[in-house]
């Protein structure tokens, strides 16, 4: 095993570990924290092209990114090529991300009901039109993120069209939309896509520790690894995995104090970037304390608190007790 350098579009990354786009999770502060721990590339939460165009654009994506948040990709969700292009041009102008990604994998009803996310995979011609028109209109490289389809041939047809349309990379989550998050990620399905394409293919699904990293890289042969849920409340996962790929050894780390310390740093980053009031801090606190000694008591206390400030104070007092 080794840490390979992935190139997406014009950007050569320092490795091949990517943070997955996750709604309500991968805000700027969280991305910065994952980056400190060794994420080579991060994606924003999905941004609806329709919402961006309907609302006051500047305020809708205010504080989306900063200069330290590089390299990064902005993920858009939508199904109308013209609207996606307008939204993407606006983002390109405002933030100059390294990549603009199109969400073609979200299985949630409110997204697929509007013909977006994984619903796009049922219409190969729309997939092709969206990617080719975006690549024509933008200076920024375009990538796409898909799930597997029920039949391999269908997945490969979509993958080939994404490549033919000019995408710079493709991420594949090894589950079908119908599976949502059940079962496990189908690595041979991802491998079939990797074998079919010449552009970089990024494997996604269930990468969480040294064993799953090894298995995913070996069985798919992919160019990069995208990590989602394992980073929620635990951005340190990037350091562990990076260390393993660089040295072949597991990194032993004290969980309890580090996780609380990370949450404290996360709160500081949220404060610094004016994001504290826009996230569900209680939910993030739950993720950061999951599995820790005394986590039930911490959570019970958090649940009884009224506002974000009280949650931050509580976590900070736990941190002080531990240091
Ligand atoms: C809370 C949550 C929010 C997500 N939001 C998005 C999103 O905005 N865009 C997207 O393409 N995928 C989204 N996903 C899917 C992840 O990017 C990823 O494909 C999936 O979690 C599988 O990877 P994992 O096993 O490493 O978590 C989300 C997943 C979770 C758990």
Q: How far apart are CA 226 and CA 207, in angstroms?
A: 7
Mean local confidence (pLDDT), 201-229: 98
Q: Which residues line ligand 1 (CB under 6 A)?
A: 20-25, 45-46, 75, 103, 105-106, 145, 173, 204-207, 227-230
Residue 165 in this model has a pLDDT that exceeds 90? yes
Please give the share of the chain, as a percent, with pLDDT higher than 70. 99
Pocket residue to mutate for ligand 1, from 228, 233, 279, most atoms within 8 A of Cβ: 228
Nearest CA, atom 23, ligand 1 = 205
Task: Calculate how far, in angstroms, residue 45's C-alpha sits from the geometric centre of ligand 1.
Answer: 9
Task: Quote the ligand 1 centre to 317 CA distance (angstroms).
Answer: 32
- Pick from 60-64, 193-197, 293-297: least confident: 293-297
Contact between residue 201 and residue 174 where contact means Cβ atoms under 8 Å apart: no
Q: Closest residue (by CA) to atom 26 of ligand 1?
A: 228
Q: By alpha-carbon position, which residue is closest to atom 28 of ligand 1? A: 22
Nearest atom within ligand 1 for CA of residue 145: 11
DSSP string covering 222-238, please? -SEEEE-GGGTT-TTHH
Site to substitute for ligand 1 among 18, 21, 185, most atoms within 8 A of C-beta: 21
CA distance 20 to 18: 6
> Average pLDDT of the chain?
94
Helix (H) or strand (E) holding 169: strand 169-176
Cα of 184 vs centre of ligand 1, distance in Å, is 14
Contacting residues for 60 by C-beta, under 8 A, at least 6 apart: 51, 52
Residue 141 phi/psi, 5-degree rounding, is: -60, 145
Confidence check: pLDDT of 229 > 70: yes
For position 163, what pLDDT does the model report?
Answer: 98
Going by CA atoms, what residue is nearest to atom 15 of ligand 1? 22
106 catalytic, yes or no? Answer: yes
| Residue 322 pLDDT | 59
pLDDT value at 276 more than 90:
no
Q: Is residue 323 predicted with pLDDT exceeding 60?
A: no
Mind listing the pLDDT tens digit for each residue in 122-133? 999 999 999 999
If you measure from the C-alpha of residue 67 to the centroid of ligand 1, how many angstroms do you get, rounded to a whole number?
Answer: 25
- Per-residue pLDDT, 228: 98
Find the 41 Cα to ligand 1 centroid distance in Å: 15
User: If pLDDT is split at 50, 70 and 90, which confidence band does 282 have?
Assistant: confident
Ligand 1 midpoint to CA 205 (Å): 9
Residue with the smallest CA separation from ligand 1 atom 7 is 22
- Residue entry with tokens 């008591």: 297
Catalytic residue among 34, 80, 106, 116: 106
**Residue 256 in tokens:** 């309890």
Dihedral angle of Cα 146, 166, 215, 226, to the nearest 10 degrees: -60
Ligand 1 atom showing the smallest separation from residue 25 Cα: 1
Residue range 41-77, pLDDT digits in tens: 999 999 999 999 998 887 888 889 999 999 999 999 9
Helix (H) / strand (E) containing 259: helix 255-272
Least confident range of 20-24, 115-119, 300-304, 317-321: 317-321
> 135: left (phi > 0), else alpha (psi -120 to 50), else beta?
alpha
């Amino acid at each position: 095993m080794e840490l390979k350098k992935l190139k997406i579009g014009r950007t050569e990354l320092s490795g091949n570990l990517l943070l997955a786009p996750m709604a309500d999770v991968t805000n700027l502060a969280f991305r910065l924290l994952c980056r400190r721990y060794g994420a080579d590339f991060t994606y924003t939460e999905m941004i609806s092209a329709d919402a961006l165009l309907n609302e006051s654009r500047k305020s809708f994506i205010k504080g989306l990114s900063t200069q330290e948040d590089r390299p990064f990709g902005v993920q858009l969700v939508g199904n109308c090529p013209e609207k996606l292009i307008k939204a993407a041009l606006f983002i390109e102008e405002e933030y100059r991300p390294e990549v603009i990604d199109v969400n073609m994998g979200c299985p949630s009803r409110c997204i697929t009901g509007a013909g977006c996310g994984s619903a796009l995979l049922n219409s190969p011609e729309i997939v092709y039109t969206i990617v080719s028109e975006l690549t024509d209109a933008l200076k920024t490289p375009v990538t796409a993120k898909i799930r597997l389809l029920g039949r391999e041939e269908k997945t490969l047809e979509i993958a080939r069209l994404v490549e033919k349309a000019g995408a710079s990379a493709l991420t594949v989550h090894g589950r079908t939309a119908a599976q949502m998050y059940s079962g496990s990620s189908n690595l041979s399905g991802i491998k079939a896509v990797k074998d079919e394409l010449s552009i970089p293919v990024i494997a996604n699904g269930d990468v969480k520790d040294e064993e799953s990293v090894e298995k995913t890289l070996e069985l798919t042969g992919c160019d990069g690894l995208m990590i989602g849920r394992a980073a929620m409340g635990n951005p340190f996962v990037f350091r562990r995995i990076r260390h393993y790929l660089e040295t072949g050894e597991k990194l032993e780390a004290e969980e309890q104090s580090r996780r609380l310390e990370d949450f404290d740093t996360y709160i500081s980053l949220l404060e610094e970037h004016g994001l504290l009031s826009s996230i569900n801090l209680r939910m993030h606190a739950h993720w950061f304390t999951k599995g820790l000694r005394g986590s039930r008591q911490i959570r019970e206390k958090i649940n009884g608190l009224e506002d974000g400030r009280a949650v931050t104070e509580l976590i900070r007092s736990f941190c002080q007790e531990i240091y």
